[in-house]
Amino acid sequence: MPDIHEIRTWVNTHGTIVAASFIALAALVVVSSHFLGKPSHPAPPTHCFFVDEVTGEAVVEPIDAIPPLPGKDGSPTLVRAVYYTLGRDDEKQLAYMEKHSEEGRAAAVARASDPNIMGPPPQLLVRGPEAGSKWVLRDSEEGMKVMNVLNEQLGKPGFRVVMPK
């Protein structure tokens, strides 16, 4: 094993090699940290789809909007719409819709404006996309059946929930 005196002598006589090695190592660290650094994660969604129950028109609203929202005629007909696809975004299919009851919406609005309000979160209602399907409590057995359409698609190639861009 070389002693410290031999190492110092070698470094002093081969300073160019030591400097070049140090620069190459620093460059390698910079390049590898750029490519192997923290993985980039997509930003969480800020908007989601809503659909007008009367017209069937899909629109994009902020994700924190509390449904039902006023539709084109001013009545509360805009409800949150959950879409999925097994391929491209333009092939999206409506899985289900959700909204609050009148009382639930009032509670959700109050809760959004005052984070100190305690208690259970307001109940959401869900319904399937079929014409005439009825609104049921999301946390009920019927509500779980409505939302189960997404679970049925999970194993299929290309499945994902579609969010607005």
The domain limits of the chain are 4-36, 47-162
**How many other CB atoms are there within 10 angstroms of residue 120's CB atom?**
6
Has residue 16 got a pLDDT over 70? yes
Determine phi and psi for 11, rounding to 5 degrees: -60, -40
- pLDDT higher than threshold 80 for residue 20: no
Whether 43 shows a pLDDT value over 80: the answer reads yes
Which residue has better confidence, 29 or 80? Answer: 80
The pLDDT, as a whole number, for residue 35 is 64
Position 77 confidence tier, pLDDT thresholds 50, 70, 90? very high
Q: State whether residue 20 is helix, strand or coil.
A: helix
Among 73, 49, 45, 70, CA closest to 59:
49
Mean pLDDT (the chain) is: 86
| Nearest residue to 87 via CA among 162, 164, 163 | 162
Tokens of 85: 């696809």
pLDDT above 80: residue 37:
no
Q: Which residues contact 12 (CB under 8 A, 6 or more apart)?
A: none
Q: Which residue has the higher pLDDT, 153 or 128?
A: 128
